[in-house]
Structure 1
Amino acid sequence: MIPDRSGTGSDASDADPSAATGRSLVIVEDDTTFARTLKRSFEKRGYQVVLCPDGSELAAVLETLAPDYAVVDLKLGTGSGLECVKLLAARDPDMRIVVLTGFASIATAVEAIKLGACHYLAKPANTDDIETAFGRAEGDVSVPLSSRPTSIKNLEWERIHETLVETGFNISETARRLGLHRRTLARKLEKRVVK
């Protein structure tokens, strides 16, 4: 069950789409097809949904809307969804924010949680995954520990993504800090994108 901030105690599965009071959601996603699909799915579950393609539009939306939930893509065009997480959490520390990413990384997961996200999901994620993440207020101690050592490729990817976060997803600056040619870094990033 998702925390219902409207005080009605209703479960997401039995929500009436016409009774969406207290279940407002903002989706910050620059992939319009994916954003519209999520919007339709959440509306069927009784949410009032607003779409924003980037952080600048989100700031304008927050002038008139105080959403209970937010779904934020980590990579927004040339910007970072972490800025949006920071903006949303500053607006309402109790908002349930889920970050979605094709660039799964420990460094960005940690930053997203520190900035106010309640959960971090790797794409592809569906409405069920996101709703479950909204409802998770505590960590899960039953998650199995991996005994397998981290591979060199994963360590490289962690370092690349950590530097991307530090530079605000500036590819040129990230390449400079890592001592890579910009095109080499771009190729590495393309290989790791989750479609």
Structure 2
Amino acid sequence: MMDVLTESSTTVHRDAIPEERTLLIVDDDKSFLQRIAKAIEGRGFEVTIAESVAEGLRQVERDAPAFAVVDMRLGDGNGLDVISALKRRRPEARGIIMTGYGNIATAVTAVKLGAVDYLAKPVDADDVVAALLAQDRKDIDPPENPMSADRVRWEHIQRIYELCGRNVSETARRLNMHRRTLQRILAKRAPR
């Protein structure tokens, strides 16, 4: 009887949310980084920031936090490397990947590497804290103002355009889209 109780309490402990409120935020957008760090500090977290994968990895090695919020694409690499290192150093840590260029394959990879959630930018502090502290996906309320389908499409086109070195012809070819149609989309402002 005692073995059953011990094992079930171990399972609960492993899945439990850490009581310690240390948080590492890694993002190369300095103004966003400072704004989100200040907002999350106001919600009871002790926040450390990093502006690159290398800096994030050093922070994890120095003192692995209980939580991490990491941008997917950083100037010196992939934010998934920080999540992976954090999970190796502190398996119970909870990490979130955020990105302006969301896709299903990346979300699946992030979860396999130990991220508890995947948030599309722009995000606010309430969304981040809710995702960090949710016991499971059912606890998370849907966002009040999610990106529209038009905005998601526009973000995807912008991502492919950037990956193609801002080459319209190559982007149109990869998106299987007429070049003029793509030029019209690129000339418009981002939808809301």
In which range does the TM-score fall when normalised by the shorter chain? 0.5 to 0.7
Corresponding residue pairs, total: 154
| Cα distance per residue 1:132-151 (max 9 Å; x no partner) | 1112232339999xxxxx9x
Cα RMSD after superposing both structures = 3.9
Instruction: Say which of 50, 59, 69 aligns to 2:67.
Output: 69
CA–CA distance in structure 2, aligned partners of residues 57 and 110 of structure 1? 25
Cα displacement (A) at 1:102: 0.3
Gaps of 5+ in 2: 1-15, 143-148, 175-181
Pairing 1:130–2:141 present? no
State the one-letter code of the partner of 2:44: G
Contact kept in structure 2, 1:102 and 1:194, CA below 8 Å:
no
CA–CA distance in structure 2, aligned partners of residues 143 and 32 of structure 1? 28
Pairing 1:41–2:39 present? yes
CA–CA distance in structure 2, aligned partners of residues 142 and 51 of structure 1? 25
CA–CA distance in structure 2, aligned partners of residues 84 and 101 of structure 1? 14
SS in 2 for 1:140: helix
| Cα distance per residue 1:51-104 (max 9 Å; x no partner) | 111111122212321201100001112521112221112121211111111001
CA–CA distance in structure 2, aligned partners of residues 183 and 78 of structure 1? 27
CA–CA distance in structure 2, aligned partners of residues 116 and 4 of structure 1? 14
Q: Which stretches of structure 1, 4 residues or longer, exceed 3 Å deviation after superposition?
A: 139-144, 180-185
Which residue is equivalent to 2:80? 82
TM-score normalised by length of structure 1:
0.64
Pairing 1:109–2:104 present? no
Gaps of 5+ in 1: 7-21, 145-149, 165-170
Which residue is equivalent to 2:7? none
- The percentage of counterpart residues that share the same residue type is 33
Instruction: Say which of 8, 11, 18 aligns to 1:5.
Output: 18
User: CA 1:61 to 1:183, structure 2 compared with 1: closer, same or farther past 3 Å?
Assistant: farther
| Cα distance per residue 1:20-70 (max 9 Å; x no partner) | xx2100001000000001111111122111111111112221232120110
Which residue is equivalent to 1:147? none
SS in 1 for 2:47: strand
Pairing 1:140–2:153 present? no
Contact kept in structure 2, 1:4 and 1:23, CA below 8 Å:
no
Contact kept in structure 2, 1:28 and 1:58, CA below 8 Å:
yes
Contact kept in structure 2, 1:27 and 1:72, CA below 8 Å:
yes
CA–CA distance in structure 1, aligned partners of residues 56 and 140 of structure 2? 36
CA–CA distance in structure 2, aligned partners of residues 142 and 122 of structure 1? 15
Larger radius of gyration: 2
| Cα distance per residue 1:131-179 (max 9 Å; x no partner) | 11112232339999xxxxx9xx96xx59xx8xx9xxxxxx47xx9xxxx
CA–CA distance in structure 2, aligned partners of residues 194 and 131 of structure 1? 27
Which residue is equivalent to 1:91? 89
Contact kept in structure 2, 1:26 and 1:69, CA below 8 Å:
yes
Task: Tell me which of the two structures has the higher relative contact order, counting C-alpha pairs closer than 8 angstroms and 6 or more residues apart.
Answer: 1
